Amino acid sequence: MQTVFEFKEKIEVFSWASAVGKSEHDGPLGRLFDFWDETDRFGKNTWELAESELSHAVLALALKRAGLSHREVAFLFSGDLQNQCVASSAAHVEEEIPFLGIYGACSTCTEGLLLSAVMLNAAEEPLVGAAVTTSHNSAAERQFRTPIEYGGQRSPTAQWTATAGGAFLLRRGEQHPHIVRAMPGIMVDGGIKDASNMGAAMAPAAAASILSYLRLTGTAPADYDAIVTGDLGREGSALLEMLLREKGVFLGDRHRDCGNMMYDPKKSDCHAGGSGCGCSAAVLAGHFLPCLAEGEYRRILFLSTGALMSPASIQQGGSIIGVAPVIELVGGNGNG
């Protein structure tokens, strides 16, 4: 049974930061991200350590903007695409923040924000929580597929794992963009076994979450300025539209997909668009939260979509399970 959690205490995202690699900086949103590295290495000697440094750096920037130290953060939800979330643990081991590593594949950003809101609502006293999500193209490619040096041919339906990340600081309040409701997603097995077509694997879960959320809240797409999916890409976005249309739901131009927004298909070899849990995190921090803060948007649904798989599950012929948790964000400073 799915449940929409309506928070008694609104949870505001009061500080955020984003970082990307070269390909992402060269895309349509490039100027919106806080910093980038032309080499994708962020000063480190391996791709894996580069992702850890990215995670460390975006949290440090979010804290600096808020005028806070690591010691003032009560907990950190952090996740990435590396085995056992090792990029996140290596990034934050010296910060002495109570740490909760999470893995939801490309849904990790929404998962971290949802869990942070639940934790802050449950606390007896006002606290500050943090959520950080990252991915790195070169680290993910050699874990889930083949090293980029191999030069393997990519399918037209394949998506480009973003070298990107976002950090978010949360607390009780409504002055800044805030989370008013949230819903964990159910897992959906659409029978897709092709790791080069994750959009098709995740679209059924995104459709299921949107349909459930609209039904449970009694709302319609017209009630939101944008319904944002994380990383369906062009293949998955087209499939989502078809699945919703069959149920009589039409998103129209309200649908935004972070994987489609990250790259310009005419200028980059991104194939079906972007993916990776850092993609939706960076686009949320770089674009959607500022739009909510400035009043360009009043209310959005945000659902990162995750393809739950491992190298072993793919090698053994398992299908790719999709999941799509949802948060509803409202603009602050009276814009909601």
Q: Whole-structure pTM over 0.85, yes or no?
A: yes
Q: Residue 96 burial by CB count (10 A; 0-12/13-18/19+): exposed, middle or buried?
A: exposed
Nearest to 327 by CA among 299, 307, 308: 299
Which distant-in-sequence residues (6+ apart) come within 8 Å of 59 by Cβ?
Answer: 17, 76, 91, 92, 95, 130, 132, 167
Alpha-carbon distance values, 307 to 84, 200, 202 (Å): 16, 10, 6
Looking at 99-108, 246-255, 274-283, which range is the least confident one?
Answer: 274-283
Q: Residue type for 281, please?
A: A
Q: What is the pLDDT of residue 118?
A: 97
- Rounded to an integer, the average pLDDT of 259-281 is 77
Whether 5-172 and 178-330 share one fold: the answer is: yes
Nearest to 20 by CA among 48, 44, 39: 39
Q: What is the pLDDT of residue 234?
A: 81
The pLDDT tens digits for 11-57 are 999 999 999 999 889 999 999 999 999 999 999 999 899 999 999 99
The pLDDT tens digits for 300-328 are 999 999 888 787 887 788 888 999 999 99
Contact 37, 201 (CB under 8 A): no
CATH code given to domain 178-330: 3.40.47.40
Contact 19, 199 (CB under 8 A): no
The pLDDT tens digits for 99-117 are 999 999 889 999 999 999 9
Give the relative orientation of helices 137-144 and 47-66 as an angle to the nearest 10 degrees.
140
Distance from C-alpha of 204 to C-alpha of 284, rounded to nearest angstrom: 22
Class assignment of domain 5-172?
A: alpha beta
Nearest to 320 by CA among 333, 306, 300, 336: 306
Give the angle 20-21-25 at the CA atoms, nearest 5°: 75
State what percent of residues in the chain have pLDDT above 70.
90
133 has pLDDT over 90: yes
For the chain, the structural domain boundaries read 5-172, 178-330
Q: Residue type for 328, please?
A: E
Higher pLDDT, 234 or 255: 255
DSSP structural state of residue 83: G
Distance from C-alpha of 320 to C-alpha of 313, rounded to nearest angstrom: 8
* Tokens, residue 106: 């490309």
Q: Residue type for 256, please?
A: R
Q: Kindly give the pairing relationship between strand 299-304 and strand 226-230.
A: parallel
In sign, the C-alpha dihedral spanning 122, 123, 127, 129 is negative
